[in-house]
Amino acid sequence: GAVVSQHPSRVICKSGTSVKIECRSLDFQATTMFWYRQFPKKSLMLMATSNEGSKATYEQGVEKDKFLINHASLTLSTLTVTSAHPEDSSFYICSARDGRTPTNYGYTFGSGTRLTVV
Amino acid sequence: AQTVTQSQPEMSVQEAETVTLSCTYDTSESDYYLFWYKQPPSRQMILVIRQEAYKQQNATENRFSVNFQKAAKSFSLKISDSQLGDAAMYFCAYLDSNYQLIWGAGTKLIIKP
């Protein structure tokens, strides 16, 4: 089945630095990528939606200059957390829509990235 | 706007028994899709089962089945013959017209050996 590879799985960075998270669809073209943030024992919070070759659409309250999303190709989307602060520490998950299948088939998720900002 | 409600923060079941996780949703649309996703301790989200609203027949995937009550806007998940590997967070989700998933708060399922 469809696989989304997300890296890194864990990252620790210092306050003020930037961190890039990659999501790569291995055997399909991801026409749409969703980026989520998940707090401990909580549900997924949608941060932004990106379509290949277009600017990402951010949810209300998500700083687009802080969370930079690039979806330059049909197999790769990146989330860069710029000038990270401790409050950015969280679990980030990407989810991709396989353009070959109907949307109602559901989406494929990456394995997530645990970001810790110290 | 659509909303999804999971009223059970935690459920526990004895191994080999049956458990039902509840989910209700609110929408004004007549045609939509509903999903149950599982998130085990590895935190990898896994699709468990999906249901098309226009289908009256309840979806079934091996030990997993749903009770879809469209008029009541209810979409419960039944897990039969519970196994230790079923222990996870279970999320109910609604696919909206923008192709975004609207998520419930989740139910933590504990399997007692």
| pLDDT score of B1 | 82
Decide if pLDDT at B62 tops 90.
yes
For chain A, what percent of residues have pLDDT higher than 90? 74
| pLDDT score of B92 | 98
**What is the four-CA torsion angle of A97, A98, A100, A106, rounded to 10 degrees?**
-60
Q: CA nearest A13: which of A93, A90, A74? A: A90
Task: Please state, in angstroms and rounded to a whole number, the distance separating the CA atoms of residues B100 and B23.
Answer: 18
| pLDDT score of B31 | 87
Task: Please state, in angstroms and rounded to a whole number, the distance separating the CA atoms of residues A114 and B54.
Answer: 38
**What is the four-CA torsion angle of A70, A72, A76, A79, rounded to 10 degrees?**
-10
- Mutation for testing the B interface, residue in A103, A107, A108 having most B CBs under 10 Å: A107
Biggest alpha carbon–alpha carbon distance for chain A: 42
Answer whether A37 touches B (CB < 8 Å): no
Whether the CB-CB separation of B69 and B53 falls below 8 Å is answered with no
3-state SS, residue B85: helix
| pLDDT score of A104 | 61
Decide if pLDDT at B12 tops 70.
yes
| pLDDT score of B63 | 98
What's the DSSP call for residue A27?
Answer: S
Decide if pLDDT at B80 tops 70.
yes
Between A70 and A98, the more confident residue is A70
Average pLDDT of chain A? 92
Phi then psi for residue A114, to 5 deg, are -95, 115
Average pLDDT of chain B? 95
| pLDDT score of B56 | 86
What's the DSSP call for residue A100?
Answer: T
| pLDDT score of A54 | 84
Whether the CB-CB separation of B32 and B93 falls below 8 Å is answered with no
Q: CA nearest B78: which of B100, B58, B93? A: B58
Decide if pLDDT at B100 tops 70.
yes
Decide if pLDDT at A99 tops 90.
no
How many beta-carbon pairs under 8 angstroms link A with B? Answer: 48
Question: End-to-end distance of chain A based on CA atoms, in angstroms?
Answer: 37
**Which of B35, B100, B103 faces A49 most closely, judged by CB atoms?**
B100
Contact B43 A105 (CB under 8 A): no
| pLDDT score of B60 | 96
Average pLDDT (A21-47) is 93
